């Protein structure tokens, strides 16, 4: 068993399989989730359950956070039994959530004031990649902290790169998710256009899959379209959040601006469904 102790906060669609990868690698793991029922499957696999974020972090050397947004991060640090209430000396906080660079800089300063380190380390990939340890991880922060953390990141991902100082990982993720929005909307529009012209989606998607424009995303989301399966692997509401974060950081290019309008208009009806449910929003007849 590895003697490096890890606290893991946030056991949603992505956090749970990521935590499972760490357990399989025999890291001692303490887990916390706001809905504590989600801790049970990890406890059955050998994790220790915590009552709150502070307890998850107190006995850990590294603390991984995988939650939904800036507000959740602030609650984990500043709320009752939050991380700001414990001694963070010599601990490394790894925030793998997709959040703003601003919140990362704020929390990094808090950690450093207490003698700890902070890395923003969001991931590219969905549930399948999390389940198989094939995520791509982009990291912002100090090189020394990254080097200490890399063996842990390599358990959860196939690639972990330091891309700059605090907040750089967040900016890289916002750039990638802006492209993700364009992929999803482009694929949906392409399928709908071909369908209008009498071409079956299955026939079109086979062509795309064998052409230079085919990729893992078009394969996974193409299969979802054919199966009429819009269960959220990456919820449409989250791409709206990410595009707004990118917009707040200054992105104003024509395609991303148009995509934000499209996804934002679809959010009320399809926000809890997968990103590729944008096809249903566009299929207005």
Residue 144, classed as helix, strand or coil, is helix
Virtual CA dihedral for 150, 151, 155, 159, nearest 10 degrees?
40
Two structure tokens written together for 96:
């793998």
- To the query of whether residue 44 is one of the catalytic residues in this protein, the response is no
Query: CB burial class (10 A; 0-12, 13-18, 19+) of residue 105?
Result: middle
Strand 48-49 to 29-32 pairing: parallel
What sign does the CA torsion over 60, 62, 65, 71 have? positive
What phi, psi does 153 have (nearest 5°)?
-60, -35
Give the rounded distance of the alpha carbon of 137 from its chain centre.
10
Q: What share of the chain is helix, strand, coil (3-state, %, to 5)?
A: 55, 15, 30
Distance CA 108, CA 114 (A): 10
Distance CA 37, CA 15 (A): 14
Candidate list 16, 91, 142, 173, residue with the active-site label? 173
Active site residues: 173
């Amino acid at each position: 068993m590895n003697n490096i102790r890890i606290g893991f906060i946030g056991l949603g669609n992505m956090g749970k399989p990521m935590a499972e990868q760490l357990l399989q690698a025999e890291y001692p793991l303490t887990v916390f989730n706001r809905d504590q029922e989600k801790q049970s499957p990890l406890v059955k696999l050998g994790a220790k359950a915590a009552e709150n974020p502070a307890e998850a972090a107190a006995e850990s050397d590294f603390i991984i956070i995988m939650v939904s947004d800036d507000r959740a991060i602030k609650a984990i640090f500043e709320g009752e039994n939050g991380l700001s209430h414990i001694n963070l000396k010599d601990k490394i906080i790894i925030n793998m959530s997709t959040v703003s660079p601003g919140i990362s800089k704020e929390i990094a300063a808090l950690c450093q004031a207490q003698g700890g380190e902070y890395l923003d380390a969001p991931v590219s990939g969905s549930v399948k990649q999390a389940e198989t340890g094939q995520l791509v991880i982009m990291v912002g922060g100090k090189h020394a902290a990254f080097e200490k953390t890399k063996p842990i990141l390599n358990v959860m991902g196939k690639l972990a790169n330091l891309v700059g100082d605090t907040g750089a990982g967040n900016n890289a993720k916002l750039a990638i998710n802006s492209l993700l929005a364009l992929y999803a909307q482009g694929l949906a529009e392409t399928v709908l256009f071909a369908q209008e012209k009498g071409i079956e989606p299955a026939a079109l998607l086979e062509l795309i899959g064998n052409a230079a424009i085919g990729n893992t995303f078009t394969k996974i989301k193409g299969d979802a379209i054919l199966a009429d399966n819009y269960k959220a692997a990456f919820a449409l509401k989250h791409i709206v959040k990410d595009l707004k974060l990118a917009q707040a950081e200054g992105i104003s290019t024509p395609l991303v601006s148009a995509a934000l309008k499209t996804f934002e208009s679809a959010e009320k009806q399809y926000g809890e469904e997968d990103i590729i449910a944008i096809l249903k929003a566009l299929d207005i007849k």
